[in-house]
């Protein structure tokens, strides 16, 4: 390897770091000596698939996208199992937990996020898990093998998938969600009720509009008391209530940021030698958790660092496409009906199919699809382009195949 090459150090080895490496390699030449530092011992893996590992639908080796051999094959130094604990901006060095100091010409922070904790007492009892890593997943699977009653906290996608996976172990699963309905950011009340009905059929019980007050037990969790006063005996609990950016490394080094590490349109921080991408950043005051914007951030940064191209990142509206316990969900734009909107709705409870379109001035402003999402992308394109759908209204709710005149 040419020692005259400038050094590019990437802190973090999650999905966005892996995508950034792909974008760098796609631009040919790799003008840098690249070092990747990851806190976990594994190579880069698809964190989204951890729910499938929990449900025994796949395995950890199957979700690893870049193993140790991949880095060696591509001439990339991989420092695994040791987190970066400090950045010395004057010396342009990072320091790992084991005391190693690594020089950089360009530093990329891709430190991601961690599972958010809840303000409940006794959260550190054994068999209470945060759901974020391979280690978390293995711990949950070990505990679930002998558990008879499990609590899942959080009615977003991760919580629902955790409940689904744990139910397959044969335990009684109760899910607590502080909002009145599941997936409240992606679904309206009717679609969420349909989802709840499907999951209830799997033996999962729900306590909505409620929160955990405290857990109890000696060393291991034995029960939980909710703020409603309900008390449940449990053998384990899983907290899946969202994420918090891992921004402290950059903020402690003096980089600007409020909710996370602030970057400009080209993923550059307040230090011209340090860039950041992924869930650890804020851009125009926004933080990120969905894959699509993270991929575009990786592309923007690779274009600037490798080819000196100016490809500004823009936070665009995107559709949410989910598969929850085997059921397809698609939503975009507004999901709640309000004054001034026209609602088109189709519902088939027996088939577990629900469609709702919200229109304003004959243009789509909201989409909620449950069970049958085949026309989701088409609806989203109509919404993005602000097409006047007035001529399509007689058949619009039935989907693209019933609107041939729109082709």
User: 305-350: per-residue pLDDT in tens?
Assistant: 998 899 999 998 889 888 887 889 999 999 999 999 999 999 999 9
Q: What is the mean pLDDT of residues 3-22?
A: 93
* pLDDT band at 30; cut points 50, 70, 90: low
What was the pLDDT predicted at 28?
76
What was the pLDDT predicted at 3?
59
For 223-252, how does the pLDDT look when each residue is reduced to its tens digit (9 = 90+)?
999 999 999 999 999 999 999 999 999 999
Q: Which residue has the higher pLDDT, 405 or 21?
A: 21
Handedness of CA 287, 101, 14, 248 (dihedral sign): negative
Asked if the domains 7-114+243-307 and 128-239 are classified in one and the same CATH topology, the answer is yes
Which runs of consecutive H residues, i.e. helices, occur in 66-188? 68-73, 134-144, 157-167
Among the listed residues 310, 290, 286, the one whose alpha carbon sits nearest the alpha carbon of residue 299: 310
Measured CA to CA, the distance from residue 104 to residue 86 in angstroms comes to: 13
Share of the chain above pLDDT 90, in %: 91
Average pLDDT, the chain: 94
Q: Which residues contact 243 (CB under 8 A, 6 or more apart)?
A: 113, 114, 115, 116, 132, 279, 289
Q: What is the mean pLDDT of residues 289-304?
A: 95
CATH for 320-406, among 3.30.70.960, 3.10.129.10, 3.30.390.30, 3.40.50.2300?
3.30.390.30
Among the listed residues 243, 240, 288, 242, the one whose alpha carbon sits nearest the alpha carbon of residue 261: 288
Q: Which residue has the higher pLDDT, 96 or 402?
A: 96
Give the H/E segment covering residue 176. Answer: strand 172-177
Residue 216 tokens read as 């109890």
Residue 404 pLDDT > 80: no
Residue 1 pLDDT > 50: no
Domain spanning 128-239 has what CATH number?
Answer: 3.50.50.60
What was the pLDDT predicted at 137?
96
Residue 406 pLDDT > 60: no
- The domain locations on the chain are 7-114+243-307, 128-239, 320-406
Residue 402 pLDDT > 90: no
Residue 4 pLDDT > 80: no
Phi, psi of 174 (to 5 degrees): -120, 130
Measured CA to CA, the distance from residue 12 to residue 246 in angstroms comes to: 10
Burial degree of 291 (CB within 10 A; 0-12, 13-18, 19+): middle
For 244-284, how does the pLDDT look when each residue is reduced to its tens digit (9 = 90+)?
999 999 999 999 999 999 999 999 999 999 999 999 999 99
What was the pLDDT predicted at 405?
64
For 187-216, how does the pLDDT look when each residue is reduced to its tens digit (9 = 90+)?
999 999 999 999 999 999 999 999 999 999
What was the pLDDT predicted at 29?
56
Domain spanning 7-114+243-307 has what CATH number?
Answer: 3.50.50.60
């Amino acid at each position: 390897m040419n020692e005259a090459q400038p050094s590019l150090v990437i802190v973090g080895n999650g999905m966005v770091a892996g995508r950034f490496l792909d974008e760098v390699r796609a631009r040919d030449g790799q003008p840098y000596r690249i070092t990747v530092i990851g806190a976990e011992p594994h190579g880069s893996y698809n964190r989204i698939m951890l729910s499938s590992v929990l449900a025994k639908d796949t395995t950890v080796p199957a979700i690893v996208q870049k193993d140790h051999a991949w880095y060696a094959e591509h001439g990339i130094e991989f420092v695994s199992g040791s987190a970066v604990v400090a950045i010395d901006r004057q010396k342009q060095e990072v320091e790992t937990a084991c005391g190693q100091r690594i020089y950089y010409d360009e530093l990329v922070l891709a430190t991601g996020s961690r599972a958010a904790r809840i303000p409940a007492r006794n959260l550190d009892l054994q068999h209470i898990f945060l759901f974020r890593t391979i280690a978390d997943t293995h711990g949950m699977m070990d505990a679930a093998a002998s558990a008879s009653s499990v609590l899942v906290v959080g009615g977003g996608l991760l919580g629902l998938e955790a409940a689904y996976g744990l139910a397959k172990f044969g335990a009684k699963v109760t899910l607590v969600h502080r909002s009145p309905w599941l997936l409240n950011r992606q679904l309206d009340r009717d679609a969420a009720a349909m989802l709840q009905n499907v999951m209830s059929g799997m033996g999962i019980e729900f306590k909505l509009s409620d929160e955990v007050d405290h857990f109890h037990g000696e060393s291991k969790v034995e029960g939980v008391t909710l703020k409603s006063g309900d008390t449940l005996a449990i053998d384990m609990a899983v907290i899946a209530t969202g994420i918090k950016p891992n921004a402290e490394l950059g903020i402690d080094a003096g980089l600007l940021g409020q909710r996370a590490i602030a970057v400009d349109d080209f993923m550059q921080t307040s230090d011209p030698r340090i860039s950041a991408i992924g869930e650890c950043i804020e851009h125009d005051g926004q933080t990120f958790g969905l894959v699509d914007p993270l991929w575009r951030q990786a592309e923007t940064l690779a274009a600037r660092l490798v080819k000196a191209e100016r490809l500004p990142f823009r936070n665009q509206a995107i559709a949410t496409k989910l598969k929850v316990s085997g059921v397809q969900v698609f939503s975009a734009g507004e999901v709640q009906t309000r004054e001034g909107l026209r609602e088109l709705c189709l519902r088939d409870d027996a088939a577990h199919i629900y469609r709702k379109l919200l229109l304003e001035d004959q243009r789509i402003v909201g989409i909620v699809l449950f069970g049958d999402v085949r026309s989701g992308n088409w609806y989203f394109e109509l919404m993005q382009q602000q097409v006047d759908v007035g001529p399509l209204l007689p058949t619009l709710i039935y989907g693209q195949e019933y609107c041939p005149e729109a082709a």
